[in-house]
Every structure is written in structure tokens, then in C-alpha cells.
Structure 1
């Protein structure tokens, strides 16, 4: 934990400010810090910075649980082989989710795990309610699969085998891994999530390029292999009946106009309270206070479709930026590890890919605000950034 104290200090600061937002201290602060729309301000009896103090306290508790989870993963991943085993378990688990999503969509009448599906009929959602959240989850699996398969290719055991026939054990093993990656890719395409597919392609390519460079493959070989992979993906997509995502890419303009209206109102909320925010996990209540045309839907918007703007709405510009700084700090640690190491690159490269995927998808969605996704995200990033114990690190470097 001490090796990552900066990350924990940033996390604890966010928790502390979330609790402060829920305390009855609003009367002690200058009015310009707590601006609300005129019709609300004239009748408001809110005594806290947060417009939903109970939600803020529960969110602070949830963040504490995430920090404890990080501590546990950092400790477990201090042994790199153990961290990679966790990566394999996550990959196999996500593969199982992908298989279930395809079976549910195509053979079980498009249902959820335990009941009827009320939204996103005709597209894969697996055990998730939202297709974009499911797409992010599947994208993590593809990034893990790419990183672990390439890491397996360079494993000392595989390099010393002499059987190079097409049915050699290592080739059969690699084929099985890529069959699983293909199943996850089919499920991802079946979600019809535009940003989910785009972010996964970018993150997967980043992971592939990073490991290939470290394994000293030529630029020509890297480009050729990456091109073949994209060609296979483009070929398999129509075979799986997954043209819906292509159609949604073609009609992206209308949807983007609606999102831009939403984002303009969120930016206006940030401008009104740039220092204090509206309260941790209080976005839904705060947005209803500011809702204005052209957003006239009667449906309550519980989550912002941009995690960066949501953080700044809830926590203000300073404290809302601390989680981003923590992730940038983790990315710096991971990049240093990748540059320094010559072996056991799978999980650091996967962590970099997962960070890339989460960063891109969070521009237009809230996938990392879903606990199932966030826990996988934190686990992979923590494994990739974990500080190895000295004796274990020396053993690995000596292989």
C-alpha cells in the first residue's frame, strides 16, 4: 500500500469531501458557492452542500469498499504469477458471460438471467441491463485475452518446446484462447454499442502493439498481424448477423445532437457550482433541478453519459479531478513497468489497454460507474501497477 500511497491519498480525499458534502454546513458557506436555479433557491431548505446527502454518504461508503478492494488486489498481485492467474480467471469469466449473452439473445428469447428484459430488445445485454455497460465488460475480456495470449506466446516454456506441428499442444492452446476471444468479439458486436466496439478496437490494438514491440517484433510484422486481425473481425461480423452496430455508426449524427444538448446542461451545472459540486452520487437529483428544453423527456436521468462531466458536476472541478489524477498516476506506474521489464508483460499491458478502453468509453457513457465494470477495471489496473516483492521480481527477471 505504501508503494501506492499517492493513489490512496487521492481516493481518501474524495471520500472525505463526499462526507463533508453531506454535513449540514451549507449555512456556513457563502451563497455564491451553492447556487441553484432561481425557482429552487427561493424555496430551498437544503442545509447541506449535497442536494442528496443520504446518497452521498452511501457513495462514500461504497468508495471505501473500492479502496479496500484495491489494497487486497495490490497485496495479492505482489506476486506476479498470482496476478496473472487472476487475469486468466477474469478472462474465462468474461468469456462465460459472452457465451451466455449470445445464447440468451439467439436461443432463449432475448431474456435476462432471471427474468424478462424490458430494454434493448434485439441486442445482447447478457446479465447487464444496459448494452453499453455490457460492451465495456466484454471489451475488458478482449483486452485481457490479447495480452494473455501474447504473453503466453513468449512464455519460456513455450519457447523451449520442440514440437512445431500444427497440432502441437501450444498451438492447440493458442487456438482455444483465440476462439474464446472471437466469442467475446461476437457478443460485443451483438451489443450494437458503437463506442464499445470503437474503444475496444483502440484498446486491443494498443495492447497488441505494446507487447509486440517489447517482444521485438518488426514494425512490418506488427502492422501485418494487426491488419489481419481487423480483417477477420470485419469478416466475422456479418456472419454473426451483427450488422446493427454498423447501421448505428452510420446514423450517429442524430444521437450525438441529443447528447450534446445533455452535455451543455451539465456544463452549465458545473459553471454554477465549480468549487463545491452538487454532492457525491447526487447527479440525478441535481440534474432534475436544472433540466430545461430541449431535454423534455419525463424520464428521470439517473446517470450522466459522460463520467468526466459527472465527476465535475458532483464534486466540483478540484475534487472531481482527483480520481482522474489517480488513474493517470497508475498509468504512469504501469508504463514505467512496461518499459523496465522484458518478461511478464501480459498484465501491465492489459492494464494499459483497460485504462485506454475505460477512458475512451467514459467520454460518452457511464460504464465505469457500474460496480461490475469498475471492480474488473480496478482489479486489472491494480494487478498491472502492483509493486512486486523483491525476491519474486528477481526470480521472474532471471527467467
Structure 2
């Protein structure tokens, strides 16, 4: 053994240990984010932005001190960084007193114009959104760095899955016992449904659906590994039972939320991952996948009665939502290029609000993340975040197609994007801090898996 080789291994070991510690810290950040009403408070946003910024600064300082480079070079996603940076710059510009340069005023439905020195109707909330956007970008980069090692990325996905299982179990316990003191959970919006520590059932349902995607990714990845290693005599039910049990807890809590769109998004995410798994065997795993149907039916009978009852009101609710969306589209058309300002929907929508959308309620959200982006940032910059997610998905799918084995990190990220894309059509869950944090963690870890090295066995190595 040469001296140089020993030194190199020692340096590599220290680097691995440092990344392991940072991965644990990032998982803790994700785990704590839902504790206070899903992090739906400006003070929580600020605390998390500071914590993430300090973590990124500490990581950068450690690399400089050791004269090391990033685990995944920024060149790998410079295009994504440029696009996201452009959105952040635009949000910052919205908060500057330069409206006179563009001759910009805020039109109302009545045809009046509201003048303002800013491009944003609410510059304060716009700066808060900017803070969140920067924090999410840094968190994405950090998860990409710690996910660059295959074994670690798989552990991260498993850990995130079990974090969601714990919150699902708490949500079920709170639902059963109506103990609002546990973990400060409160039934804020819909009595008789599970909301966990979140402000409403739909947001909790999206959080659970992301965990369901992570769990399905872990399950299918392990099933493939056990199929490869079956000659070792491993008793596969014992290896899979904990993951299946965790999935049952999440699905039970998801049904207890009685969130129709949350359940649909979760099942679509799970279906996408199952389809990816079946694709690996060119259809040979479709029959085993169908065996999940009796399990889903049994859980649905136990916990899904409320959800089934609410399906009957879909038409009525759709009429209300359609009227809301029509007024938001009118709002977008009135100021299509600049928007009303990041975070400004709550104050901007009353300028267009009228019957039949109820005037007895405060419509502080567009109930569609797509419409929120376009109404606040305009159709150009509001589409950039969607483009960024689309490019990430393209990279994930391309990596899946060239892999010779499943990666839980890769498929979990694809499933998470499916969940977010579907649920964002009819709600705003990805605008809630804890849901966004988990979403970024999953896609960041999955994106990192795209740059892992593949060995001769077909497994991914560090």
C-alpha cells in the first residue's frame, strides 16, 4: 500500500463523513419544517432561510479550507441556476421603486388604475417570496451535493420516507383522539378530517403524497435488489414488511384527510413509480403490481368513507373553482407581462373579485399554483419555475432510461414531480413551506443521482 494511496483514502473518508453529517442535518431541517402549522408563518420562513444560508456558507468554507471541489459541479446545472436566478432578480426588481420607468400601473376589473412606485402591489411580501426562492435554490444545491454518493442518496430517500410516516402516524392519532395539544396540531379548517400539523387537509395530503412517492420508490428499488440477490437466501417479506407498513400508515392518513385531489395526486405518483418499475421488466411485473389493489381497497373501506362521500360534491365544488379561475385569468390578462407582484395575490385579487365567487370568504390563494405564478410574476417569468421543474424532470427520465438498475432517489423524484404537477392544478400546497421543503429535498436528491457513476454490476457507485 503506497503512502499516497493511504492519504487519498483518508481524505476520501473524511469527505464522506462530512457529507454524511450534512445529510443528517438537512434531513433534520426537513423533519422540523412541518411542526408549526406546516411552516406557514413568515418567521419560520426567515429562520429556515437563515439556517439554509448558514449551512451553505459553512459547506463552501469547508471546501475552500480543504481545497476541494463540489461533489457535483455547478456546471452540471448552470442552466437551471441561470433560469432560477432570473426569476429571483425579477422578484427583486418588483420591489424597487422603478414603476415610473415602465409606466406601470395596476388595472382593476372596473377599469381603474392604481398607481404605485413599485412593480409589486405588495413589495414587502415580494421580498419574503424572494427569500424563500433563494433558500429553496440553496437547499436544492445542498441536497445535490450530499446525494452525489449512491448509497447516501438511497439513505436520504428512506429517511425522508420515515419522516413522513411519523407525521402520518401523528395525523392519524390526532384524528382519532382529537387531541389538539399533540405537537401543537389544530383542526383549523375542516373538522372531522386529518390535518396533522398543517393548516388544512389538502396541504397535509400533498405532504403525505410526496411521502407515498418516496415509499413506493424505496419499495420497488428493494424488490429489484432482492430479485437480483435472491440466491443469497434472503427472506424477502422480512426485508419489505417495514416499508409496506409505513406505506399503509401514509395511505391511511391520506384517506383520513378526505382530500380528493390529494388522494388523486398521491395515487398518480405511486402509479408512475410502479409503472417505471414494471417498465424495467417489460411488463413482467404488472401482475405483482396488481396485487396492491386488494390492499388499497381494504384501506379505502376502513378510512376512505369520507373521501368517497365528498366525491359526490365534485360538480358543485368545480363550479365554484371554475368561477374563481375565470376571475384569476381575467386578472392575469389585465397585467400579463409584469404580474401584480410575488406574494401579492391576497391583496390583488379583490380588485377583480365578484359573484358568483363567494364574497363571504377571503380568497388569499388562487387555488392553483400555476395561476398564482402567472398572476403574480406574469406569464413569462411565472412560467420559468415550471420550465425549471420540466428540465429537472427531463434529466431524471433520461437518467432512468440509461440506468441498468432502479434508483430510489431517481424514481422518488419523478414521482414527487408527478404529485406536485397534478395537485398544483387545483390547489396551492407547493406554496406551503414544509411541502416545498420536502419537494425540493426529493428532487434535489434525485437530480444528484443523475450524476452518479455506474459500475459493471449495474449498481450505482459513489
Normalised to the residue count of structure 1, the TM-score between the two structures is 0.91
Distance in 2, Cα, partners of 1:341 & 1:315 = 38
Query: Which of the residues 319, 338, 358 maps onto 2:400?
Result: 338
- Structure 1, unmatched stretches of 5+, are none
- Structure 2, unmatched stretches of 5+, are 1-73
Distance verdict in 2 for CA 1:115–1:203, change over 3 Å: closer
Distance in 2, Cα, partners of 1:331 & 1:190 = 30
Q: Deviations over 1:133-176 (max 9, x none)?
A: 11111111111111111111222797155436xxx3x3212012
Q: Deviations over 1:264-311 (max 9, x none)?
A: 000001100111100011111111222112224233222110000110
Once the 2 structures are TM-superposed, how far is the Cα of residue 36 of structure 1 from its aligned partner?
3.4
Could you tell me whether the CA contact under 8 Å between 1:40 and 1:289 is conserved in 2?
Answer: no
Could you tell me whether the CA contact under 8 Å between 2:126 and 2:343 is conserved in 1?
Answer: yes
Query: Which of the residues 118, 135, 149 maps onto 1:79?
Result: 149
Distance verdict in 2 for CA 1:158–1:387, change over 3 Å: closer
Distance in 1, Cα, partners of 2:245 & 2:375 = 42
- Say yes or no: does 1:208 pair with 2:281: no
- What SS class does the counterpart of residue 113 from structure 1 fall into? helix
The root-mean-square deviation of aligned C-alpha atoms, in Å, is: 2.1
Distance verdict in 2 for CA 1:394–1:115, change over 3 Å: closer
Distance in 2, Cα, partners of 1:180 & 1:213 = 25
Distance verdict in 2 for CA 1:70–1:385, change over 3 Å: same
Could you tell me whether the CA contact under 8 Å between 1:80 and 1:344 is conserved in 2?
Answer: no
Query: Which of the residues 58, 62, 75 maps onto 1:2?
Result: 75
Distance verdict in 2 for CA 1:100–1:115, change over 3 Å: closer
Distance in 1, Cα, partners of 2:185 & 2:149 = 41
Distance in 2, Cα, partners of 1:345 & 1:180 = 19
Residue 443 (structure 2) aligns with: 381
Residue 262 (structure 1) aligns with: 324
- What SS class does the counterpart of residue 340 from structure 2 fall into? coil
Could you tell me whether the CA contact under 8 Å between 1:205 and 1:226 is conserved in 2?
Answer: no
Could you tell me whether the CA contact under 8 Å between 2:366 and 2:372 is conserved in 1?
Answer: yes
Residue 147 (structure 1) aligns with: 217
Distance in 1, Cα, partners of 2:93 & 2:109 = 22
Residue 99 (structure 1) aligns with: 169
- Say yes or no: does 1:233 pair with 2:296: yes
Once the 2 structures are TM-superposed, how far is the Cα of residue 182 of structure 1 from its aligned partner?
0.6
Distance in 2, Cα, partners of 1:336 & 1:200 = 23
Query: Which of the residues 338, 349, 364 maps onto 1:276?
Result: 338
Once the 2 structures are TM-superposed, how far is the Cα of residue 116 of structure 1 from its aligned partner?
4.3
Query: Which of the residues 155, 159, 164 maps onto 2:229?
Result: 159
Could you tell me whether the CA contact under 8 Å between 1:110 and 1:121 is conserved in 2?
Answer: no
Distance verdict in 2 for CA 1:67–1:356, change over 3 Å: same
Could you tell me whether the CA contact under 8 Å between 1:112 and 1:126 is conserved in 2?
Answer: no
Residue 160 (structure 2) aligns with: 90
Could you tell me whether the CA contact under 8 Å between 1:34 and 1:276 is conserved in 2?
Answer: no
Once the 2 structures are TM-superposed, how far is the Cα of residue 6 of structure 1 from its aligned partner?
1.4
Q: Deviations over 1:166-211 (max 9, x none)?
A: xx3x321201210110111000000000011111111101101102
